[in-house]
Amino acid sequence: MHPAFSIVIFTTLSGLGYGLAAVLGLGLLDPAATATKIAHLLALALIATGLLSSTLHLGNPQRAWRALSQWRSSWLSREGVMALITFVPLAWSAWASLFDGRYLALPGLVGTLLCAVTVYCTAMIYASLRSVQAWHTPLTPLCYLMFSAAGGLVLASFFGFAGAGSTVLAPALAATFTAAAWIAKLFWRHRMRTLRPISTPETATGLGRIGRVRLFERPHINENYLTSEMGFKIARKHAAKLSAIAFLLGGAVPVLLLLVLPLAGVGAGPSASLIALLAACCHAAGVLMERWLFFAEARHSVTNYYGG
Amino acid sequence: MTLLPAQPTPKKLGLVIDLDVCVGCHACVVSCKEWNTGGYGSALSDQDPYGADVSGAWLNRVHTFEVIPEGGEIVGEAGEARIVHFPKSCLHCEDAPCVTVCPTGASYKRAEDGIVLVDENMCIGCGLCAWACPYGAREMDLAAGVMKKCTLCIDRIYNETIEEVDRVPSCVRTCPANARHYGDLADPTSAVSILVAERGGMDLMPEQGTLPVNKYLPPRPRKPLADSAHSLPLAENTDGAKGFFGWLDGVLERI
């Protein structure tokens, strides 16, 4: 599948934003601290940027509001509806922290729950497509949720070291969730690499009863919408390397950094904040690469008509 | 409304495509483009139409496949491999995944005849329906920013201003080999249903669970060319010549 820049950015940023908002909703950070206030604003900004980015690939973005209407059948529509609803408790929580320095449990916990539901809807847009077998598994929403939670906790750790408290629990949880997210991803990737395609050129043409089917001539010489959108190919050796880099950058490095800080007994302070910020940046870069590969490596069943 | 109508729809209008007969001339492809660029919805645009890197939205495309039987050879006509031309357009699935994923309600399946359509005034061009379709039946119109697909020539089949013989999809009307048939596949007595029953019409990618309405008729079994060799009239052989040709054979033999 073509890894459209706007979609890769959207799922990465909104995932991080919802993760951070969900952690804030649990009340782990000191609501009166300046760092927590900035965290609230950052979460909202990440979510909003992600959602705006997702409209960039639309052919007619001026009609995007229509996408809120088909929540009964469409995961994309559900995602849009949930994203809007989730803004209410998140904005409420942010308001309470920014102007009153208070943590409110009701909007906080409701916000956390809705963040999870929204990220789940985003993942289900892809997981519900049977035509892309690599995505069509419950492991897809699991990975999205885990990466979102991990990203939120890594960011929360940074804000914790920057003065919002929780310099032990947040980094410990961040390291745990980051490790768990990458373990889920390894399972996802192993499944993708080893699955037997349910659709083949034989089933796609119905000619399997006669024999083995091979494309002889394409319908047109040039690329078309289908081959550029669904027939994206990435060299296997590069995919393996990128995947390893993503794992190291997004998984190993932040886990190591975030474990070292509390274990070394480092409390809040500029140096700890910088290290936590480095962990957060590495995590985001790793997840961005993971998301790019999520699209680039997935194979659509239409490629059976175009010689694989 | 992207919920699917109650199944099955009273009519299931669709195509039956005969892979034994299709000669791969692409006439259906061109006539489809021609009719639909001036018909339902916005024009079917091309990008860089006269340049080297031309591309565009097409609702029907013909692929060509080579099929090699178990243990067969690939030596053109002398071998066992055979060429099958394969036209592909929307299959108007009963359980159409392209419809249910649509976030706006632009994509829908008609309750009365099962035709799957896109309301281009509602489409935001997100492309998710094209991702959901396992067959690649939908293509984005890059000029209009809306999704395009086969309409089963809805502006022909119900069009009382054109002659009755023309009230079939453009691809069916134009096919010079008569490889494409149009009709109601819900009616077991229709010509298309009988064709499907007699020739073992099949679904494409049944494992995707889409329940396509369109059916494909498999190519008939082919005899190896060598099997037909003995029955070919040999130019040398005049055995059994009678009448004038017998006399002529005798005269020429004596010269």
Give B121-176 pLDDT, tens digit per residue: 999 999 999 999 999 999 999 999 999 999 999 999 999 999 999 999 999 999 99
Q: Which two tokens stand for residue B245?
A: 């040709």
- Contact state of A58 with B207 under an 8 Å Cβ cutoff: no
Question: Could you tell me if A199 and A129 are in contact, meaning their C-beta atoms sit under 8 angstroms apart?
Answer: no
Chain B partners of A6 at a C-beta cutoff of 8 Å? none
Provide mean pLDDT across the span B48-59: 93
First to last CA, chain B: 86
Chain B partners of A75 at a C-beta cutoff of 8 Å? 101
Chain B partners of A81 at a C-beta cutoff of 8 Å? none
Domains of chain B, start order: 13-254 (3.30.70.20)
Quote the crossing angle between the two packed helices A169-194 and A270-296, to the nearest 10°. 20
| CB atoms closer than 10 angstroms to residue B168 | 19
Tell me: the pLDDT tens digits for A7-60? 999 999 999 999 999 999 999 999 999 999 999 999 999 999 999 999 888 999
Q: Which two tokens stand for residue B161?
A: 């201003």
Which chain B residue shows the shortest CA-CA distance from A77? Answer: B103
Taking the CA atoms of A278, A279, A282 and A283 in sequence, report the sign of the dihedral they define.
negative
The answer for B125, left when phi > 0, alpha when psi is -120 to 50, beta otherwise, is left
Q: pLDDT in tens for each of the 308 residues of chain A?
A: 999 899 999 999 999 999 999 999 999 999 999 999 999 999 999 999 999 999 888 999 999 999 999 999 999 999 999 999 999 999 999 999 999 999 999 999 999 999 999 999 999 999 999 999 999 999 999 999 999 999 999 999 999 999 888 888 999 999 999 999 999 999 999 999 999 999 999 999 999 998 999 999 999 988 999 999 988 888 777 899 999 999 999 999 999 999 988 887 777 788 899 999 999 999 999 999 999 999 999 999 999 999 87
Helices (H), A98-195: 105-127, 139-159, 169-194
Q: Which of B26, B132, B204 comes nearest A131 by C-beta?
A: B132
Helix, strand or coil for residue B181?
A: strand
* In the predicted structure, residue B1 carries a pLDDT above the cut 70: no
- Contact state of A129 with B140 under an 8 Å Cβ cutoff: no
| pLDDT band at residue B190 under the 50/70/90 scheme | very high
* In the predicted structure, residue B80 carries a pLDDT above the cut 80: no
Pair type for strands B55-56 and B116-118: unpaired
Q: Which of A131, A207, A301 comes nearest B84 by C-beta?
A: A207
The DSSP H or E segment spanning B136 is none
Distance CA B127, CA A58 (A): 8
* In the predicted structure, residue B255 carries a pLDDT above the cut 90: no
- Contact state of A302 with B3 under an 8 Å Cβ cutoff: no
**Radius of gyration, CA atoms only, chain A:** 21
Provide mean pLDDT across the span B97-109: 96
Chain B partners of A80 at a C-beta cutoff of 8 Å? 103
- According to CATH, what is the number of the domain A5-58+66-195+224-305? 1.20.1630.10
Question: Could you tell me if B45 and B214 are in contact, meaning their C-beta atoms sit under 8 angstroms apart?
Answer: no
B101 in contact with chain A, both atoms CB, cutoff 8 A:
yes
Q: Which two tokens stand for residue A179?
A: 């490790």
- Contact state of B134 with A61 under an 8 Å Cβ cutoff: no
ipTM of this predicted structure: 0.93
- Residue of A75, A78, A216 to mutate, testing the B interface (most B Cβ within 10 Å of its Cβ): A216
Query: Whose structure tokens read 């029907």?
Result: B60
Query: Whose structure tokens read 């680039």?
Result: A296
Distance CA B149, CA A128 (A): 22
Tell me: the pLDDT tens digits for B192-210? 999 999 999 999 999 999 9
Among A305, A124, A42, A109, which Cα is nearest to B139's? Answer: A305
CA dihedral B117, B48, B60, B69 (to 10 degrees): -140
